[in-house]
Amino acid sequence: MAIDLDLCTGCGGCVVACKSENNVPINGRAPEAKGAEIEWMSLLPRGSRDEPESGLPVELMPTPCFHCDNPPCVKVCPVGATYRNDEGIVAQIWDRCIGCRYCTVACPYSRRSFNWKRAEWPDSYRSMMNPDVALRPEGVVEKCTFCHQRLRRVREEAKVAGEEVPREVYERLPACAEACPAGAITFGDLNDRDSRVAAMAGSPRARRDYEHIGTRPKIYYLSKARREFR
Partner 1 sequence: MNGIDDVPLANLRLPPLTWKGSLGLVVFPCCLVLFGLWCYAQQRLHGDIVTNMRSVGSGGAAWGVFILSSVFFVGIAIAGVEIATLAHLFRIRELRPLSRLSEYVAVISLVMGALCVMADQGRPLAALRNLPSYANVSSPFFGSFTLIVGVDIAASLVMLYLGGRGDAAWCGRQKRPWSWAYRLWATGYKGSDNELRRHRKARFWLSLVIFPFIVIAFSTLGFIFGIQGGRPGWYGALRAPSLLIVASISGVGAITAIAGLFRHRIAAPQMIPERAFLRLGNALVVLISVFFYILLSETLTERYTGREAEVRVSDAILFGDYAPAYWTMVGTMLLALVMLLYQFVRRTPRVKLMIAVGLLVNVSVLLRRFLVIVPGQTNGHFMNYVDGVYSPNFLELGVLAGICSLGVLALVAFARLFPIVPLNHYHGRIVSEFVPESARRRLTRGSLSALTLLVGLSLAGVGLLYSARFGTESFLDPVLPFSPVIFIVGVVLTLYSAAVYVVAPPG
The residue (of 55 and 131) whose beta carbon lies closer to partner 1 is 55
Would you say 187 and 146 are in contact if contact means Cβ atoms under 8 Å apart? yes
Measure the CA–CA gap between 90 and 48, rounded to whole angstroms: 30
Please report whether residue 32 would count as binding partner 1 according to CB under 8 A: yes
The residue (of 12 and 108) whose beta carbon lies closer to partner 1 is 108
Question: Coil, strand or helix: which one is 2?
Answer: strand
Instruction: Give me the half-sphere count of Cα atoms (radius 13 Å) on the Cβ side of residue 4.
Output: 18
Measure the CA–CA gap between 101 and 29, rounded to whole angstroms: 23
The residue (of 137 and 183) whose beta carbon lies closer to partner 1 is 137
Please report whether residue 195 would count as binding partner 1 according to CB under 8 A: no
Please report whether residue 193 would count as binding partner 1 according to CB under 8 A: no
The 3-state secondary structure of 49-67, one letter per residue = CCCCCCCCCCEEEEECCCC
Measure the CA–CA gap between 168 and 155, rounded to whole angstroms: 13
Q: Which of 9, 52, 87, 118 binds partner 1 (CB under 8 A)?
A: 118
Query: Which burial class, exposed, middle or buried, applies to 124 when counting CB atoms under 10 A from its CB (0-12, 13-18, 19+)?
Result: exposed
Task: Find the shortest distance in angstroms from Cβ 102 to partner 1.
Answer: 6
Measure the CA–CA gap between 137 and 94, rounded to whole angstroms: 8
Please report whether residue 113 would count as binding partner 1 according to CB under 8 A: yes
Task: Find the shortest distance in angstroms from Cβ 112 to partner 1.
Answer: 8
Task: Find the shortest distance in angstroms from Cβ 209 to partner 1.
Answer: 8
Q: Position 110: which residue type?
A: S
Residues facing 221 on adjacent strands: 3, 207
Task: Find the shortest distance in angstroms from Cβ 106 to partner 1.
Answer: 5
Please report whether residue 76 would count as binding partner 1 according to CB under 8 A: yes
Please report whether residue 138 would count as binding partner 1 according to CB under 8 A: yes
Task: Find the shortest distance in angstroms from Cβ 93 to partner 1.
Answer: 10
Please report whether residue 172 would count as binding partner 1 according to CB under 8 A: no
Q: Which of 11, 16, 83, 132 binds partner 1 (CB under 8 A)?
A: 83
Candidates 5-13, 18-26, 96-104, 186-194 — which segment interacts with partner 1 by CB under 8 A? 96-104
Please report whether residue 230 would count as binding partner 1 according to CB under 8 A: yes
Measure the CA–CA gap between 61 and 185, rounded to whole angstroms: 11
Would you say 219 and 66 are in contact if contact means Cβ atoms under 8 Å apart? yes
Chain positions contacting partner 1, by CB under 8 A? 32-37, 44-50, 63, 72, 74-81, 83-85, 95-102, 104-110, 113-118, 137-141, 209-210, 213-215, 229-230
